[in-house]
Structure 1
Amino acid sequence: MNGAPVMPSPGELRAMVAGDPRGYAQRWSFGVPSWRHASEGGFRRARYEVRIDEQTARLYVTSQHYLSGWPAAIQRFGMLDTEAEPGPDDQTVHGHVLVGAVVLASPMNERVLTVPFPGLAPYAESAELARLIVSPSVPANGETFLVSRALRLAAESGLRAAVSFADPMPRRRVTGEGVVIGSPGHLGIVYQALGARFTGRGTARSLCFLPDGSVLSARSKAKVTGRETGGGGVVRRLELLGARPLRPEEEPARWLAEILPAIGARAARHPGNLRYLLPAARTRAERSRTVFGMPSLPYPKWADDRRSI
């Protein structure tokens, strides 16, 4: 590994919360953030390989990413370090260490795809880039390499465009040491570096933030209250955050109403994520033929400062 993860200074962290990334790329390892700086250099494309990965990407993403949930995946891609020696905690694919993943998924609402890509078949020719994660072991600039290669591979199976959202709202986690920044808020710098089209914000909404900085979505709540498949996983997630067990005879809605304030969940208004549109193409000609249904706007240069989160 060329260089190592670094910790930004308090002043640099404050600048990142305000929207100035200061050249840092945030990485995740078992839900814990770290940073690599662009000035270190050292990224060699020849060392890394990106391939379709149906087996290990889910475990890697759910164990490493700060958003531990798993989206409705359409395609999964893994980035392999072909030179690293596997360690006892590393996941491997064909003997190579898995150091990154991209997940293309189906959004909950089809309009997330049909509005920006009106001429493309949703879920087949368009998808949401729902997860992007790169290991702290990879030097800076690994994200752009992984995304561009993953979209090129996806284009070979018919994908023509992807939408991705960057959450500009800082996330704060409650730990034994107090409240710490879990994520300073994302501007989508990696998408800007790839030349993606910025089209404004997604829908503003009220969200339920859990003590670890993650969101308990309305869909997750519905799985619990409706006793649906997947509801048990949501219950276990809340129990790990300190909720008392849900008794078999208990009404799930009442249980949620009781335990959410008890574990420190907070409701807050979210102004909407930043929306980026990326073509998926095998050639420059294919890229130039991509038709977007939303106008391009200037790239955002600041993040939201919501100190209540």
Structure 2
Amino acid sequence: MSGARIVPGAGELRAITSGHPKGYAQRWTFGVPSWRHVSEGGFRRERYLVVRLDEVTARRYVTEQHYLSGWPAAMHRFGLLDTEAEAGPDGQTVNGHALVGVTVLASPMNERVLTHAFPRLIPYAQSVELARLVVSASVPANGETFLVAQALRMAADHGVRGVVSFADPMSRKRRTDHGTVIASPGHLGIVYQALGARFAGRSTARSLLFLPDGSVLSARSKAKVTGGEAGAQAVIRNLESLGARPRREEESPSGWLAEVLPAIGVHPTRHPGNLRYLLLAGRTRQDRSRTVFGMPAMPYPKWEADRRPLPGSPTT
């Protein structure tokens, strides 16, 4: 395959020469992506610790740093601590050390996400979803694999045996005061490939409603508004913060949505489906070998051409 090879230069990432790009690890700082290359070196396992986190600490870090500002139904939360740094990107510390990464194991909305992948495991107990993985730009390449590997070992102590994770290959854009920027350039799940995860194909293709901030307006959120359910006001306030006009008293919620969504630039976008990876948790190889997959292994996906944009660069 051919494509642009991304290399760091002049404080940014630029594409030069040809050849398939590899060896780059994605990082996040206040929702802005950046990249670290393995050739930089510098990752020393003895410098970092992985610890369990409380809900408040993990949630603050993820919602401030990750491009998806929402918070999943977290079950297990783990933090990457830098023992040689004074503080993380937002000043957070845990046990006196800088918090520089978080991964979250959570409950997916649909139980079948877990039972299809691990039919012999008890969903939400022995099988869970890896819903968030965020690592600071200060951490060299290989930091994310270290964090996930340690987190899986620690989760195994609480009965977790199988983990499903999804990588979204579709890029997302976010509207800001400075124009439209890339919120996420799309992912192939290279970190899971590096961990030897099983690639189990794509999730179901579907149409999504991308909001101006790069998040998705789910069918469940729409139903809350149209049905006047609990949580509807939070959805409405979010849409108004993104530019939707207030709903007039005489108009129906469904009619209001039909008008304001196109007005703020929301249109259905066909999504090909996320890339599904299956990981095993356990302290020993024997523990991990006892878990039976419910899906066949497929070849790892690769970019046919480099799709990674310049972080923070304007787009059209």
User: Corresponding residue for 1:36?
Assistant: 36
User: Corresponding residue for 1:45?
Assistant: 45
CA–CA distance in structure 2, aligned partners of residues 205 and 242 of structure 1: 25
1:24 aligns to 2:24 (yes or no): yes
CA–CA distance in structure 2, aligned partners of residues 27 and 166 of structure 1: 15
Paired amino acid for 1:7: E
What is the root-mean-square deviation in Å for CA atoms of aligned residues?
2.7
- The secondary structure found in structure 1 opposite 2:129 is strand
TM-score by length of 2: 0.86
Determine if contact 2:103/2:132 at 8 Å carries over to the other structure.
Answer: yes
Shift of 1:213: 2.4
CA–CA distance in structure 2, aligned partners of residues 240 and 10 of structure 1: 36
User: Corresponding residue for 1:272?
Assistant: 273
Determine if contact 2:225/2:233 at 8 Å carries over to the other structure.
Answer: yes
Shift of 1:113: 0.3
Determine if contact 2:88/2:99 at 8 Å carries over to the other structure.
Answer: no
Identify unmatched segments of 5+ residues in structure 2.
1-7, 308-314
CA–CA distance in structure 2, aligned partners of residues 147 and 97 of structure 1: 18
Shift of 1:36: 1.4
Shift of 1:4: 11
CA–CA distance in structure 1, aligned partners of residues 249 and 95 of structure 2: 44
User: Corresponding residue for 2:77?
Assistant: 76
CA–CA distance in structure 2, aligned partners of residues 250 and 79 of structure 1: 49
- The secondary structure found in structure 2 opposite 1:301 is coil
Shift of 1:155: 0.3
1:293 aligns to 2:278 (yes or no): no
Identify unmatched segments of 5+ residues in structure 1.
none
Shift of 1:295: 0.6
Which runs of structure 2 are paired with 1:1-309 in the superposition (5 Å)? 7-10=12-15, 21-54=21-54, 55-86=56-87, 89-246=90-247, 251-302=252-303
Bigger mean CA deviation after superposition, 216-225 or 41-50: 216-225
Shift of 1:34: 1.6
Task: Please list the CA deviations of residues 211-254 of structure 1 after superposition, one character each: whole Å capped at 9, or x if unmatched.
Answer: 23222111222233334344333333323322224467764323
Determine if contact 1:6/1:36 at 8 Å carries over to the other structure.
Answer: no
> Residues 5 and 292 from structure 1, CA distance in 2 versus in 1: closer, same or farther, beyond 3 angstroms?
farther
CA–CA distance in structure 2, aligned partners of residues 98 and 210 of structure 1: 30
Shift of 1:63: 1.5
Paired amino acid for 2:12: M
CA–CA distance in structure 2, aligned partners of residues 206 and 217 of structure 1: 10
CA–CA distance in structure 1, aligned partners of residues 151 and 9 of structure 2: 25
Determine if contact 2:114/2:127 at 8 Å carries over to the other structure.
Answer: yes
Paired amino acid for 1:136: A
Determine if contact 1:186/1:303 at 8 Å carries over to the other structure.
Answer: no
CA–CA distance in structure 1, aligned partners of residues 10 and 248 of structure 2: 44
Superposed structure 1 runs of 4+ greater than 6 Å apart: none
Determine if contact 2:240/2:246 at 8 Å carries over to the other structure.
Answer: yes
> Residues 283 and 58 from structure 1, CA distance in 2 versus in 1: closer, same or farther, beyond 3 angstroms?
same
Q: How many residues align?
A: 300
Determine if contact 2:202/2:273 at 8 Å carries over to the other structure.
Answer: yes
> Residues 88 and 79 from structure 1, CA distance in 2 versus in 1: closer, same or farther, beyond 3 angstroms?
closer
- The secondary structure found in structure 1 opposite 2:13 is coil
> Residues 40 and 232 from structure 1, CA distance in 2 versus in 1: closer, same or farther, beyond 3 angstroms?
farther
Task: Please list the CA deviations of residues 116-165 of structure 1 after superposition, one character each: whole Å capped at 9, or x if unmatched.
Answer: 10000000000010111101111111110111111111100000010000
CA–CA distance in structure 2, aligned partners of residues 141 and 71 of structure 1: 25
Shift of 1:170: 1.7
Paired amino acid for 1:37: H
- The secondary structure found in structure 1 opposite 2:122 is coil
CA–CA distance in structure 2, aligned partners of residues 129 and 83 of structure 1: 27
CA–CA distance in structure 2, aligned partners of residues 220 and 246 of structure 1: 16
CA–CA distance in structure 2, aligned partners of residues 253 and 171 of structure 1: 26
CA–CA distance in structure 2, aligned partners of residues 238 and 182 of structure 1: 18
